[in-house]
A and B are shown apart, each in its own frame.
Chain A
Amino acid sequence: MNANNINIIIDKEGICNLVFDSKNQEHNLFNGEVINELSEIIDSVINDTNIIGFIISSAKKSFHHGYDLKYLYTLNNAGEIFDQIYKLSKTLRKLEISRKPVVCAISGSSNLGGLELILHCHYKIADNSNSTNISINNVKYDLCPNIGGSQRLPRSIGVSDTLDLLLNDNTLSTKDAYDKKIIDEITNKEQLFERCKIFIKNNKESYQIWDKKQNISPFEEKNLGYFISKIAMLHAENADLYPSVKILMSSIFEGLNTDVNTGLKIEARHFTWLLNHKETRSMLKTLKFTKSRKKVDENIIKLCKKSLEENYSAEGVKLLIEGVAAPLIENAGKRLGFIDSPLASADKLELQSLIPHLDSKDAAVSALIRSMQKINRKGCSTNKGFYDYKDNKKLKLWHGLKDLIPPSNKQPEISFVEQRLLFSCINNMLYNYTKIFKNNDQNLFDYLSITKMSLPTWTGGPFSWIKNFNVKKFNIINKEFEKSQGSRFIVDQKLLDSI
Chain B
Amino acid sequence: MSEAIIYDAVRTPRGKGKKSGSLNEVPPVQLASKVLQAIEKRNNLNTADIDDVVLGCVHPTNEQGADIARSAVLEAKWDQTVSGVQVDRFCASGLEAVNIAAGQIMSGQADMSIGGGVESMSRVPMGSSGGAWMADPTVAYNSYFVPQGISADLLATKYGYTRTDVDSYAVDSQKRADNAWKEKRFKKSIINVEDQNQLTILDKDEYMRPNTTMQSLASLDPSFAHVGKNHGFDEVAILKYPDIETIDHVHHAGNSSGIVDGAAAVLIGNKEMGNKYELKPRAKIRSFASIGSEPTIMLTGPADSAEKALKRANMEATDIDLFEMNEAFAAVVLRFMDALNVDHSKVNVNGGAIALGHPLGATGAIILGTVLDELERRDLSTGLITLCVGAGMGTATIIERI
Contacts and interface: CB of A to CB of B under 8 A. Distances in A.
B137 A236 contact: no
A9 interface: no
Contacts of A397: 245
Contacts of A414: 242-243
A414 B238 CA distance: 11
Interface stretch (B138-146, B285-293, B389-397): B138-146
Interface stretch (A327-335, A447-455, A480-488): A327-335
A331 B232 contact: no
B242 A328 contact: yes
A396 interface: yes
A234 B140 contact: no
A168 B135 CA distance: 22
Nearest to A395: B246
A248 to B, nearest CB: 9
Interface string B130-157: 1000111110110011100000000000
Contact of B146 (A218, A232, A327, A332): A232
Does more than half of chain A's interface fall in helix, strand or loop, or is it mixed? Answer: helix
A335 B138 contact: no
A228 B233 CA distance: 10
Interface in A248-271: 249-250, 253-254
B245 A231 contact: no
A482 B213 CA distance: 59
B145 A327 contact: no
Contacts of B234: 236
Given A239-B239, A335-B239, A396-B245, A224 B130 contact: yes
A351 interface: no
B245 A232 contact: no
A346 to B, nearest CB: 16
Nearest to A223: B135
B262 to A, nearest CB: 25
A246 interface: yes
A236 B239 contact: yes
A221 to B, nearest CB: 9
Contacts of B127: 224
A36 to B, nearest CB: 33
B202 to A, nearest CB: 29
Q: Which of the listed residues A228, A232, A254 has the most CB atoms from chain B within 10 Å of its own CB?
A: A232
Nearest to A331: B242
B320 interface: no
B242 A231 contact: no
A403 to B, nearest CB: 16
A326 interface: yes
Contact of B239 (A228, A235, A326, A330): A235
A396 B137 CA distance: 31
Nearest to B133: A228
B137 A325 contact: no
B137 A331 contact: no
B236 A253 contact: no
A232 B232 contact: yes
B219 to A, nearest CB: 24
A219 B130 contact: yes
B276 interface: no
B243 A235 contact: no
B359 to A, nearest CB: 23
B243 A325 contact: yes
Contact of B238 (A250, A326, A331): A331
Contacts of B206: none
B236 A327 contact: no
B232 A235 contact: yes
Contacts of B245: 326-327, 330, 396-397
A250 B127 CA distance: 20
A396 B138 CA distance: 32
Contacts of A227: 135, 137
B243 A231 contact: no
A326 B130 CA distance: 38
B137 A237 contact: no
Contacts of A224: 127, 130, 135
A235 B141 contact: yes
A236 B130 contact: no
B137 A246 contact: yes
Given A219-B135, A224-B130, A331-B238, A232 B140 contact: yes
A234 to B, nearest CB: 7
Contact of A232 (B231, B244, B246): B231
Nearest to B246: A396
Interface string A386-400: 000000000011000
A236 B134 contact: no
A258 to B, nearest CB: 13
B235 interface: yes
Interface string B105-149: 000000000000000000000010010001111101100111000
B282 to A, nearest CB: 43
B135 A246 contact: no
Contacts of B233: 229, 232, 236
A488 B127 CA distance: 53
A231 B235 contact: no
A325 B242 CA distance: 10
Contacts of A3: none
A359 to B, nearest CB: 29
Nearest to A411: B243
Nearest to A232: B232
Contacts of A235: 140-141, 144, 232, 235-236, 239
Interface in B203-250: 227, 231-236, 238-239, 242-246
B141 A231 contact: yes
B246 A231 contact: no
Contacts of A229: 227, 231-233
Contact of A335 (B137, B146, B242, B243): B242
A236 B135 contact: no
16 contacts: A219-B135, A224-B127, A232-B232, A232-B235, A232-B236, A234-B232, A236-B234, A236-B236, A236-B239, A240-B141, A249-B137, A249-B141, A253-B136, A328-B243, A335-B239, A414-B242
Given A228-B145, A229-B232, A236-B232, 16 more contacts: A227-B135, A227-B137, A229-B233, A231-B140, A235-B141, A235-B144, A235-B239, A237-B232, A237-B235, A249-B141, A250-B138, A253-B135, A253-B136, A327-B242, A332-B242, A396-B246
4 cross-chain pairs, A with B, having the tightest CB-CB distances, nearest first: A236-B235, A236-B232, A331-B242, A249-B137
